[in-house]
Structure 1
Amino acid sequence: MAKKKCGICGKELGFWDNKMPLKDGVICYPCLFNKGNFYGGADQRHMNGFLNSHTAAEIKELMDNPVKLEIIKRKVAPVNHHHCKPIAQCALCGQDIYKDDAPLEFKDSAYICLDCAAKYRATKAYNWASEHTIENFKESINQKIDFNDINFKNAHNAHKELKEIEQEKAKKKCNICGKELGFWSIEHPIKDGIICDSCFEKGSFYKDTDPKKIRKFLQTKTAIEIQKLINNPEELQNIKKKVAPKKHSFPPITKCALCGQDIYRSDAYLKLKDSSYICANCKKKYNFTSISKSIDWASEHTIDDLKEYLDQGKDFSDIELEIEQQRQKRSAEKEQEKAKKQAEKEKRKQEQAAIKAESVCYGAYYFNIKKRKIYSNTVFHGIEFFVNADEIVSYRVNEKGHDKNKHHVFTRAAVGAIIAGPAGAVIAGTTGGKINEYIDELGVIINLADGSNFEVSLLNAKNNKADGFFVRHAYSELNHVIAILDGWKATKKAVEDTKDNTDAPAEIRRYKQLMDDGIITQEEFEAKKKQLLGL
């Protein structure tokens, strides 16, 4: 299909190209419609049958002879006009002309059919025919005038006239601002000239008015009078209400709380917090220029708040200035708060870095051995103080595991030096020297004086062999943790013993006084004295 060519112009036609079959090939749509105009004034179904029965050479011959083509179209594929009557007859050949034939109509209401128009090359002479009679057309035929030349001359003359009009219009100036107006510039006529669209918009003449009435009003005023109205908005507003009031299809929704003017739903009003309304004129008068800021302020204030500002000689520009100052103040406060938080963050960061440097980490906890403190490493707050060593009452090892071999006999001695040191002694007391084949959990549960506890988890994963690297490492850390806890406990006891020894003389004196008072006997005093002195 892609190799087919048009039998007239030779153009290659693809699969999706529009084409009409002929007797010995195909014809493309450009040749069919643009060059031949086979369907103009013809019945489509009959014309299709005619084309299918003729060769490309015959079709090309008809395209070169428009008169013969029109005769054949009328003969083999006449248009069906059952539903309408002819509007006239051709002034040259007498053929019936119907409304949908697009005939050529002359100034004296005479018509010629499309066949005659094509015969004399006048198919595009519509503008010329509207200015001439049928007699002028017949004279042109007798003089053998080519209507293609006439169409060209008409177009040239029209362009020339348009250019002259543009040049004439370019000389016009706005009577208010003096601006030169080009051909395409928008202008508004007044009594003694014109005004440009910029000056017209400056006065807002169409706002809240009937456009037709305001245009008539402007045509009765001079440039000087209009300039005065533009410079005096209040007077202009009163005149607009008087001579060109805007028509409203619906009744007003309320009245302006300041001037009492009716407010309609389509107006650009401002609604306050107490459901009071301000009209567009009062908005403009008191400088409610920013739409978003005006709406935000009005939603938080009442009409009494606004009147209080107006009584002080202020308008919304002053209110905006106060709002901006408050915004800047809040912004400065936020910046200070931000800087403060950043400083605290940096300080905390340094403190945490110092804690890390002074402490050793096991699980999720940092042990500061010198300061006798434990810190927790939290997700959201980092390293935080958790507990003092003095709050620790006791600890126990948490070990959980399992065996895969039912006949497993795996003693701690077989593991070697996995649990050497204090951890071995603690665990051996609870397990009888046996160890699971796999260790799942390992840690130290530390009990505090307030009855609570927490766990320092050193291993929490399944299928770790008891003699594997991870278990060995976990037991090594366990030894270190227990050594720290035992060291803190021993230090605490030594301090308590020292404190007790320091207080022994005072206690002996107190018991001596009790003996002197006869409350206790000499034997009881001596026994207590030996106890306090550790004898």
Structure 2
Amino acid sequence: MGFFDRKAKCSVCGKETGLNRYRIADKRWVCPSCFELAGFTKVKPLDKPIQKMTAIEIQEIIEKNGEFDQEIGPEANKRTTALLRSAKKQLSDEKIMYWVYGVYKTKSLGNDTIRNGLFIATERQIFFYAERFTGFETESFPFSNISSLEIGKGLTGHKINIIASGNKSEMYGINYGQVDQFVEYARSKIGKSSSTPFAPVSVDVAEQLRKYKSLLDDGIINEEEFIAKKLELLKL
């Protein structure tokens, strides 16, 4: 079967697909729908080239993504789903309980900075995640450090203020996510410490981890090498 044959059968869903199909291992094909359900995009580099993936591997990814879609809820659109998937990689074994998406305002070098991103409530913390041109940015607010959480609503959407360790962090323009559930859940957890407390991570270690994560994303090091370096830096 040649590449320019008009029709081929998708090895994942079994449906016929046209020329916009994708070649996978064993000279088989996958249709655009299954390609998208697996979380692949034409512009985002894959951890493993799709040409080397089997139909079974892609099906497993689709099933796993289906479970993740249930975890994040129906409020997520294509953009926020992609962000939540990326954020999940930084959360390790923590489950996403509730989330909101808006404009995060904080101070950097004495100046106000704003960026679009997520507030994610887990069992341990409120976790901020945003993508940057060269990578990503995160910030952690352990529930044990939060003294209060304020909510309001303006013309641009909801606003949430987190008061933690004497500092205020603000997200406004919130029009996506589970605002009411997020606030109710977060308030129920405020002041409570996790049964598995966070190990303090210095700024230098955090920067090193970001550097090695970037090397992993670029394919310069593999997953095993990244995990080994992460354990070494965190002294686990």
State the TM-score, normalized to the length of structure 2.
Answer: 0.34
Structure ranking higher on relative contact order (CA contacts 8 Å, 6+ apart): 2
Which structure: larger Rg?
1
